Structure 1
C-alpha cells in the first residue's frame, strides 16, 4: 500500500474572481472559509505510486493516473470538510442481493459539512469519472456563504459510494477548464518557450565559438554548473520514494535532470562571460572571487549584503504595491501567484528542502543568468547598451502580460523590478543580483506567518534564519574586522 498528499489552489475560483470581479478588494475574500481558495488532497493505492515523469515535482494526484482497483483520492477544504472523493471500484461484480442495496449518502454529505435537510434532490447531470450503477445530485448553498449556490454530484457502485464532487457556480467540465486555461496562458507560454529555446540555441552557438577562440573562464563555468547541478539534485529529497523497482526510475530521472542542468548552466555561462567581461568588466569581479573561494573578501561580503538588502526590498515592495495600489486607485489588483515551491513547502519536512532548492535554482538560472544572457545578446545585436536595456524592458513586460487583470500594476511592478535589477547588476555586479534573486524568491515562495501556533511557522523560521544568516555573513566580511560603529571621540 502507498499514499501521498499535497495542496492545490482552487484555480476555477481564482479564475472566476480575476475574470468577473472588478473591485479593488476582490482578493480579500480568499480568506473566507467557503469557498476554499486552497485545498488539501490525499491519495492512496494498494500498490506503490510511481510518477511517470519521475524527475519532476508536483502533479502528485494526476501522475500516474489512477488505474488500480481500490485506489482512492479525496479533497478537503482547510477546515477538513470533504470537497470531492473518487475511488476505483473492484474489477469483479458481486451477485449477492446486498450488492443492489441503496447507497447511504448521509456520511458523505456530513463529511462535507452539509445538512441533508437543507439540500434539494435533483437529477444527476454530471458523469462520474469511474463506473457507477447509481447516481444522485443535490443543490443547496454553502453554510458559511449562503449567497453561493452549490451542487453535489455523487455516484455509487453496488451500494458503495465511489465518487462525489462539490461543484461551485464557476466549475465547468474539465475540457472547458483546460481550454480556458490554455486561452489565458497560450500567448505568454508560447512567448516564454520560444524565447527560452532560442536562447539555448544561441547560447550553444556562441559558447562553441568562444571555445574555438579560446575565450571564457572555463573553471568558473564548471564550478558554477556543478553547484547548480547539485542544487537540482536536492529536488530528489522531496520526491515520492517507493520500496520497489520504480525507485530506480525516480533516482535516474533526477540524475538526468541534474546533468541537463549542469550542461545548460555551463553553456549559458560560457556564452555570456567573455562578452560581459569585455562590455562591463566590473560586473563579474565579485562573482569570480566568490566562485573562486575567496569568501572572506570584503567586496564579496559587500556584494552579498547588497543582494540581501535588495532582495528583501523587492519582496516587500511587491507586497506593498500589490496591496496598496488597488486601494488607492480602485483598479483591481493582480491575482495571487502560487509558486510550485509554495505548494511543496506546505507539505513540510523534507519537502521544505525541495522548495528551497526550487526557489534557489530558478532565481539563479532563470531570473539571473538567463536575463544577463538576453541582455548580452541584445547588446551585441543592437550595438548600444541603452537600446539593449530598453529592449529588455519590453521583453520582460510582454513575457507575463496579464489577460483579465488591469495591466497597470503589472507595468509598475515589472518596470521597477527590471530597473532595480539592472541598477544592481551594473553597480554592484552579478553576485548581488544572484543573491537578491535568491532572497526574493525565498521570501515569496515560502509561506510566511508570524503566528507561532500556525503549522506553517516552521517554514517561516527557516526562511528568515537563512536570510538573516546570509546578511550577517555579508556584513561581517564586508567590515573586514572593523567595528560596525566607530567611536569618533575615542579615536
Structure 2
C-alpha cells in the first residue's frame, strides 16, 4: 500500500464489505472543499442496517490522512454480536472502513517481535546436527532405510517445489531466475533435513514399534497397489473424516456469537492456486507425521514408560495447537482428542496412515464449504470430499486384494 490509488478491500463470502483501506494522492493542487461523504453508502456496501447503530466517538486511527471521521456502535442483525463501525474520508472519498468485533485486536499497538530467540535458533541447529550424526551412524552401521529415505526426500522436494512455484508471482524479467533458484534451494534444504530426521529415527522406531513402519516400508518397496498400503489409505481416510468432524465441531461449539471464520480462499482464485493448495497439503502430510513421530519417540525414550509418554505427547501437541485459542473451554478438549487420535495412528496403525490422514484432513478443511449448492463456489467446496471418497474406494479395493499378503492379514486392519 505505497502507491496512489491502491485499495485493500476485504469482503465476506457474499461480497459484503468488511474492511477498506485506500491510498490518497501524495500531491494535490489546490481544490475547493469537497462535499461531505455519505457514510450510509459504506453501510449499504457492508450490508449493515444503519438503524441498529448509534454515533460514537472514533477510537481506531487509519493510516491514510483524513478530513472527516466517524464511528458507530450497535449489534449484528443476525446474532446480536456487539459491533463497532469506523470510517474516514479524504476530500469526499472514503480512505478507511472497518467492522470491529469483540475479537478484534490493535495490532499496531504492539511492538514487533524481534524474530526467534537466539537460544531457539541454536536449539534447531543442534537438533539438526544431532540428526545428521545419528543418520551418519545408522548409514555406517547398515541400519538405514535408504530406499524409504530417498523416496520421502524426493516426494517432499517435489511437492514443496510444486506448491512454491505455483504460488510465486512469475515475471519475464532477469529476476525470475533468482526467484526459481531461491525456491529450489529452500526446498532442497528442507528435503535434506527431513531425510536426515528419517534416517536418524527409522531404525530405532522399527526396532521398538515395528507396526509403525510396516505399511510405509511396503509403500516404498511395492508401491500403492500393495494390500497393506491400501488398508493404510482406507484407515487414513477414516481418521481424516473423524478429525475434520472434530474441527468442525470445535467451530460449532463457539455458537452463533463466535468470531468470524475466515476461510482459505486461494483455491477459489483459479486452477494454479488450487493445485498449489493440493501440493501444500501433500507437503505438510510428509513433514508433520515424521516430526511428531520423532517427538513421540524421544519422549518415550526419556520417560521409559509408554503410557506416560503417550500422555505427555498428547498434552504437548494439544498445548501447541491450542495456543491462543479464543474459546479454551471448548477448544482444548477438542485439541486433546485430536492429539489422542494422532498418537493412536502413529503407535497403533503406522506412519503411512498418519500421512494419508494429515493430507486429507488439510485438503478437506482448507477449502470453503457450503450446503447451499446455488452458490458459485459450492462445486469447488465439494471437490475435496468427492476425491476423498474416491481415495477411500481405491484403498478398500486394493486392501481387499488377496495375494501374498493374504488380504487384511498382517495389515493395520488386522485385529491384535
TM-score band, normalised by the shorter chain?
Answer: 0.7 to 0.9
Higher mean C-alpha displacement, 206-215 vs 216-225: 206-215
Matched, 1:422 2:343: yes
Q: Output the CA distance in 2 between the equivalents of 1:466 and 1:195.
A: 40
**TM-superposed deviation, 1:439:** 2.1
**TM-superposed deviation, 1:256:** 2.9
Matched, 1:128 2:62: yes
Q: Output the CA distance in 1 between the equivalents of 2:129 and 2:260.
A: 33
Contact 1:322 1:333 in 2 (8 A): no
**TM-superposed deviation, 1:215:** 3.0
**1:203 match:** 131
Q: Output the CA distance in 2 between the equivalents of 1:316 and 1:374.
A: 26
User: Residue 221 and residue 379 in structure 1: after superposition, are their counterparts in 2 closer, same or farther (change >3 A)?
Assistant: same
Matched, 1:355 2:277: yes
Q: Output the CA distance in 1 between the equivalents of 2:81 and 2:300.
A: 56
**TM-superposed deviation, 1:271:** 1.5
Picking from 15, 19, 22, the partner of 1:80 is 15
Matched, 1:175 2:111: no
Matched, 1:274 2:203: yes
Structure 1: state its 5+ residue gaps: 1-65, 485-491
Alignment of 1:85-484 (within 5 A): 85-95=20-30, 99-106=31-38, 109=42, 111-112=45-46, 126-132=60-66, 134-139=67-72, 141=74, 144=77, 148=82, 150-156=84-90, 159=91, 161=93, 163-168=95-100, 170=102, 173-176=106-109, 178=110, 199-235=127-163, 236-320=165-249, 323=252, 342-366=264-288, 368-402=289-323, 407-480=328-401
TM-score by length of 1: 0.68
Contact 1:315 1:444 in 2 (8 A): yes
1:458-477 Cα distance to aligned partner (Å, 9 max, x none): 33332123212221221121
SS in 1 for 2:269: coil
Contact 1:199 1:374 in 2 (8 A): no
Q: Output the CA distance in 2 between the equivalents of 1:118 and 1:389.
A: 52
**TM-superposed deviation, 1:237:** 1.7
Q: Output the CA distance in 2 between the equivalents of 1:338 and 1:192.
A: 31
1:181-208 Cα distance to aligned partner (Å, 9 max, x none): 98xxx99x99999987765454334323
Q: Output the CA distance in 1 between the equivalents of 2:250 and 2:54.
A: 45
Q: Output the CA distance in 1 between the equivalents of 2:55 and 2:250.
A: 47
SS in 2 for 1:458: helix
**TM-superposed deviation, 1:302:** 1.6
SS in 2 for 1:165: strand
Q: Output the CA distance in 1 between the equivalents of 2:293 and 2:82.
A: 48
Structure 2: state its 5+ residue gaps: 408-416
1:424-479 Cα distance to aligned partner (Å, 9 max, x none): 33333221221122222222222333332223323333212321222122112122
1:34-55 Cα distance to aligned partner (Å, 9 max, x none): xxxxxxxxxxxxxxxxxxxxxx
Q: Output the CA distance in 1 between the equivalents of 2:155 and 2:363.
A: 18
Q: Output the CA distance in 1 between the equivalents of 2:250 and 2:59.
A: 44
Contact 1:72 1:86 in 2 (8 A): yes
**TM-superposed deviation, 1:286:** 1.9
Higher mean C-alpha displacement, 430-439 vs 72-81: 72-81
Q: Output the CA distance in 1 between the equivalents of 2:123 and 2:260.
A: 25
TM-score by length of 2: 0.79
**1:17 match:** none
